[in-house]
Amino acid sequence: MYCLDLRNIRCPLALVLLKQTLIKTDHSVGIKVLFSNQAAMQDIRLYLDKKNYCYSCDQTTLLVKLSD
């Protein structure tokens, strides 16, 4: 699983970094996103919903399941 640490990063950069990671990450693995900024996480969740990604989330971690 690939880990993307966004704990010290705010939107829009956090969302841009996630989009880049989604493009370059092997789709046989998932992405673990660490965050502390709730506003950035809300934007990321809206984006993942819009693109129909499967994910689970708690207070500081988001797990994105990637599949071909």
pLDDT tens, residue by residue, 8-66: 998 899 999 999 999 998 878 899 999 998 899 999 999 999 999 999 999 899 999 98
Q: How far is CA 48 from CA 65, 68, in A?
A: 11, 16
Reported pTM: 0.88
Which residue type is seen at 1?
A: M
Residues 9 and 2: their CA atoms lie apart, in Å, by: 18
Q: What's the structural domain count of the chain?
A: 1
CATH number at residue 35: 3.30.110.40
Domain that holds residue 21: 2-65
